[in-house]
Amino acid sequence: MKGRNMREDMQDRMLLVTQGFPFDECERAFLEVEFEELTKRFQMNVLANNVTGKIVHKFPEDIPCWRYHIGKLNIFRLPAQLRYPEVRKDIVSCWFAMKAREKIRTTIRILAYSLRAEELFRQMEEIVKQQNINFIYTYWCTQATVAAVRLKKRYPQLKVITRFHGYDLYRERVAGNWQPLRPFIAGNANLLVFACKRGREYFLGQWPGEWEKYSIVSYLGTRAMQRVIPQNTDKLAVVSCSNLIPLKRVHMIIEALALLPDQIRVEWHHLGDGSEREKLEKLAVEKLTPKPHIFWKFWGEVPHDEIETVYQKISPDLFITTSSTEGGAPVSVQESFAMGIPAIGTDVGGMAELISNRETGYLLPADFDFFEATHCIESYGKLSAAEKKSMAENALNKWKKHFSAEKNAKKFVEILKRMGQ
């Protein structure tokens, strides 16, 4: 009851729009700590894109939580979206920028995006009026963000914040290479938040405008974790943690390991599941099983709150990721640094903001080949114990300085607090 009274006394009321939190695990690693900090400053309300699941996080009972659902598209309602000036402007821009065969498809996507926003607008407006909301924070830049900035035009007291990650930022991550209505969003939001410096630079390069002055970088960060103590054996323990999907390019880890010389003994553990698991296991059987100096294991899906325990069991010396794209500074690498594990990673997204080459790990080119990855693993394996310890210390110190979720969440909420004054 005390917590409820304290929240009721708060003047600022926020609607947080998520893709699933707190009903599923998809945003837990990103959002949990930040949400805890937000509840100390705002009277919170949550609108989640989930219509079935149960709440899977510890969640205060006094915080209202709604669900929305993106249902079947009614194509007969698409033409009516042309009444919005921002839609007409975005369509004109795409027609100037795109090849003929893509113009019609992209026009339909823009109209559909606006229609989804219109459907969300009604539900969000009811919450804004009912709960006296004055902050809307869309945790991803989606149709909900378009709805939020349209609401701001009707309710000028609203302050709109949106955070960009990956699929909602980079053109190549969406069909037709077109992110709908981005200038409209940027020109009407109060704060644009990016998960890494490179993401902010990319956005401002693609959509330059006066919004540069209210575009900030706020690293997500991770919780403090127990430091991993390496086994100090003649076997190198390597771990990777990701969904088994094409953009993670886990097959390149297998290919790189297969090229290691016999004197480099390795055990490789992968945490995570996905559509490519069967294919990757077959590749590992083909490429790695014949190598007596390599042990490998796919752990499958591991709940996020069990990852630290598994790492302690494995005692990895080195983390590796070979993603073709990242939205920000990858949480998986931040977590490895929090446990004092250096990393090999591709120079995509905010990876270079984490990995300083030969200081906290090894940075691969985005379009690296197998031999380059093999060379990095081999180079680490040949380091002295003192050099490995130094790299582990550097990784942990990088996390402490830049990627503590508690510190970063406090800084972010302080920025929002100043907006409300």
Pair (330, 410) in one structural domain: no
Pair (172, 270) in one structural domain: no
- Residue 294 per-residue DSSP state: E
Pair (250, 216) in one structural domain: no
Beta bridge partners of 368: none
- Residue 20 per-residue DSSP state: S
Residue 230 in any domain: the answer is no
Residue 192 in any domain: the answer is yes
Q: 57 is written with which tokens?
A: 């996080």
Q: Whole-angstrom Cα distance, residue 244 to residue 250?
A: 7
- At residue 309, the pLDDT reads 96
Pair (208, 240) in one structural domain: no
Q: Whole-angstrom Cα distance, residue 114 to residue 80?
A: 10
The structural domain count of the chain equals 2
Pair (160, 80) in one structural domain: yes
Residue 282 in any domain: the answer is yes
Residue 356 in any domain: the answer is yes
For the purposes of burial, counting CB atoms within 10 Å of the CB of 346, is it exposed (0-12), middle (13-18) or buried (19 or more)? buried
Residue 227 in any domain: the answer is no
Nearest to 22 by CA among 11, 34, 10, 12: 34
Pair (304, 204) in one structural domain: no
Residue 361 in any domain: the answer is yes
Pair (35, 159) in one structural domain: yes
Pair (25, 143) in one structural domain: yes
SS3 209: coil
- At residue 2, the pLDDT reads 42
How confident is the model over 19-39, as pLDDT tens digits?
999 987 778 878 989 999 999
Intervals of the chain under pLDDT 50 = 1-7
* Domain boundaries, position 63: 2-221+405-419
Are 298 and 280 spatial neighbours (Cβ–Cβ below 8 Å)?
A: yes
Residue 391: half-sphere exposure toward Cβ, Cα within 13 Å: 26
CA angle 228, 234, 237 (to 5 degrees): 40
Annotate 374-409 with DSSP letters as a single string.
HHHHHHHHTS-HHHHHHHHHHHHHHHHHH-BHHHHH
Are 239 and 271 spatial neighbours (Cβ–Cβ below 8 Å)?
A: yes
Residue 384 in any domain: the answer is yes
- At residue 272, the pLDDT reads 96
Pair (267, 132) in one structural domain: no
- At residue 3, the pLDDT reads 46
Could you tell me the pTM of the whole model? 0.92
Residue 255 in any domain: the answer is yes
Pair (43, 58) in one structural domain: yes
Pair (20, 161) in one structural domain: yes
Are 260 and 293 spatial neighbours (Cβ–Cβ below 8 Å)?
A: yes
CATH of the domain at 152: 3.40.50.2000
How confident is the model over 170-212, as pLDDT tens digits?
998 898 899 999 999 999 999 999 999 999 999 999 999 999 9
Pair (145, 189) in one structural domain: yes
